[in-house]
Amino acid sequence: MKMFLNGTAMSGQKDHGCHAGSTLLGPARTAAKYRFFVLRDEFPGLLPVDRGGRMITGELYDMPDKVLREGLLPGEPRELELGEIELEDGEIVNAMILKPERISAGDKVVDIAEIGSFRGYQAFLRANASKGSVLGRTDL
């Protein structure tokens, strides 16, 4: 199956090894139908929206079902759920979708849709670490 990854399981990220046996097909972007949030500065999540959506950059993989079920899914945060998204070319693929009702009260949630990628957010944090500048919390 084709799986769109946009967070800690992408190449070079801390959880990349959880889907060993899958094949990177290349970079990919979603259709402009999603907001993109980071929870607790730990992981991002896509949220489908009717308006105000942005294209979000990630990676597309050919992932065997066994790798998905035994490698990737067991390590996914409870706030995410397997679902389908639309890529910019109209193709429908699998991805992890943010479930706002599963977010705990008091969790830090930052809307990074304008940045457009988890790597971009990480670069923003590195560039601004010494300045004390961070993006603000948002409510879903």
Model confidence pLDDT, tens digit, residues 8-60: 999 999 989 999 999 999 999 999 999 999 999 899 999 999 999 999 999 99
Contacts of 129 (CB under 8 A, 6+ apart): none
CATH of the domain at 106: 3.10.490.10
- Residue 124 resides in a domain: yes
Q: Is residue 66 part of a domain?
A: yes
- Does any domain span residue 137? no
Q: Residue 121 domain-assigned?
A: yes
Mean pLDDT rounded to a whole number for the chain: 93
Residue 140 lies in a domain: no
Distance CA 115, CA 121 (A): 6
**136 belongs to a structural domain:** no
Each residue of 61-103: pLDDT tens digit?
999 999 999 999 999 999 999 999 999 999 999 999 999 999 9
Query: Who's near 67: CB < 8 A, 6+ residues apart?
Result: 19, 20, 21, 22
Residue 113 structure tokens: 């849709």
- At residue 139 the predicted structure's pLDDT band, cuts being 50, 70 and 90, is low
Give pLDDT, residue 128.
86
Domain that holds residue 43: 2-131
Residues 2-13 have pLDDT tens digits of 999 999 999 999
* Higher per-residue confidence, 46 vs 137: 46
Count of domains forming the chain: 1
Question: Quick check: is 138 in a domain?
Answer: no
Indicate if the pLDDT at residue 113 is higher than 90: yes
pLDDT at residue 135, as a whole number? 57
pTM of the complete model: 0.90
Q: How many residues does the chain have?
A: 140
